[in-house]
Amino acid sequence: MKITVLGKSPAWQDPGGACSGYLVEEEDCCLLLDCGNGVFGKLRERRDYEEVDAVVVSHLHSDHCFDLIPYAYALSYSPRAREFPNPRPTLYAPPGGQESFRAVTGTWGLAELVEQAFCLIEYEPETTIDLGPLQIRFHEVPHFIRTFAVQVTSRAGSFTFGADCCPNDALVEFARGTDLLMLEATLEHPEPDGQRGHLTAAEAGAHGRRAGAGQLVLTHFEQGDHAERFRAQAAAEFGGPVELAVEGAVYTV
């Protein structure tokens, strides 16, 4: 199983970068996990977008799903889409996905843009998806809106994506023994007050250690001088080497 980082930025993109997006490939199967701002263009640099079998969205914040809009336009209105229409890829969205997409694209009169371009299915926490050689599972994690960690398993091993979340035991249990764990490291220090919704780098490292992950990769952070400091903070808690997600990086499970 091959995982390619298409985008790793937080809600604000790095220069020339993209928000959350990961391409998961096994045999002839192609899965796009999250499709945040800038991801569709990054996808096109590496794969034909019509070759994607399914898209999974972890939650409905813009940095995880808004590039579904140019993707939907391409599937619906590009010259080849009109001349040689292909079967619609499946879009697995969290509960409320259809309503949210309609609300956004409805502001310019195309409320059904996304659901007409994709075969839209809203998953539930207990949903299991069999996609060729891949099995996909979900587990709800605490964030500002309903959000789901995603685990992709094949005969080769397992890849767990923590999505966006604050510290929680549910993610540790869900990711128990995973080969590759990709966790956000949005913050250096916890939110000063109010509801928490993100992990610090050190907290990501602690979650990885508690889960017994084989490999830990930090994502969802702004590029800058602090990135290496984030890596060191996570590694101190994880108890081993930690990698920083880089666009174009490929991980194999």
The boundaries of the domain holding residue 46 are 2-252
Task: Tell me: pLDDT of 249 over 90.
Answer: yes
For 53-112, the pLDDT digits (tens) are 999 999 999 999 999 999 999 999 999 888 877 889 999 999 999 999 999 999 999 999
Task: Tell me: pLDDT of 180 over 90.
Answer: yes
Instruction: Tell me the DSSP string of 131-153.
Output: ETTEEEEEEEE-SSS-EEEEEEE
Task: Tell me: pLDDT of 34 over 90.
Answer: yes
For 105-146, the pLDDT digits (tens) are 999 999 999 999 999 999 999 999 999 999 999 999 999 999
What CA–CA distances, in Å, run from 239 to 148, 158, 169?
26, 20, 19
Domain total for the chain? 1
- For residue 65, what is the domain's CATH number? 3.60.15.10
Q: Considering only CA atoms, which of 100, 154, 110 is closest in space to residue 129? A: 154
pLDDT of residue 193: 81
For 195-204, the pLDDT digits (tens) are 899 999 999 9
pLDDT of residue 210: 99
